[in-house]
Amino acid sequence: TKGSWGVSAASNYRKRYRYSGSFLFSYQDSKTGDKGLPDFTEQESFKIQWSHRQDPKANPYSSLAASVNFATSSYERNSMYNPQTLTQSTRTSSVSWSTNFSSIGLSLSATTNLAQNMRDSTIQMTLPDLNISLSRFYPFKRRHAAGAERWYEKISVSYTGQISNSINTKEDRLLRSNL
């Protein structure tokens, strides 16, 4: 024991016909060895698990989904709660959001992905992966056509774009200024 401690909080939530999910947060302060001796170490670690699902009928134009499973690489080594997770070498997380403005033909979607290697504590993160799409429209078409269709009324415009940012780093550098 030597002064090690930990705390966890877990909750399930649900709003009928809207969304449902669960959330878990756990924090540990692990101490090994004897204080004052060279083999003494103190290590802080944490774990976050979040699952969220939106009912498709809640809002047909927008959706949010999340599957987050993030832990520091030392968390499972210091934990005796679930020995099966010690064999898990990678963890993946993703959060995605999309919306559709059907009146103007615009759709947006954003995704964040995180892949974590527990053996060497490397993290590959895509934050964000943003997709923008504008449906075809005819900017020069007359609202009230009188006579034959003119050549410039056949000109159409559409747009598709993607913005992506990715980071490959070590766990201990993730939220530091030297990232």
Strand partners, 112: 95
pLDDT 10s digits, 63-119: 999 999 988 877 766 655 555 555 567 888 999 999 999 888 899 999 999 998 877
pLDDT 10s digits, 4-34: 888 999 999 999 889 999 999 999 888 888 8
**In contact, 58 and 49? CB cutoff 8 Å:** no
**% the chain with pLDDT above 70:** 89
My answer on whether omega of the bond before 128 falls inside 30° of 0, hence cis, is yes
Average pLDDT for the chain: 85
pLDDT at res. 32: 81
Q: Is the pLDDT of residue 146 over 80?
A: yes
**In contact, 100 and 143? CB cutoff 8 Å:** no
Q: Would the pTM of this model clear 0.75, i.e. be above it?
A: no
Place 147 in a pLDDT band, splitting at 50, 70 and 90: confident
| CA–CA distance, 166 with 156 (Å, rounded to integer) | 34
| CA–CA distance, 162 with 131 (Å, rounded to integer) | 5
Range in 89-93, 130-134, 155-159 with the lowest mean pLDDT: 89-93
pLDDT at res. 83: 55
Q: Convert 47-62 to b/e letters by CB count within 10 Å (16 or more is b).
A: bebbebebeeeeeeee
Is 80 or 139 the better-scoring residue by pLDDT?
A: 139
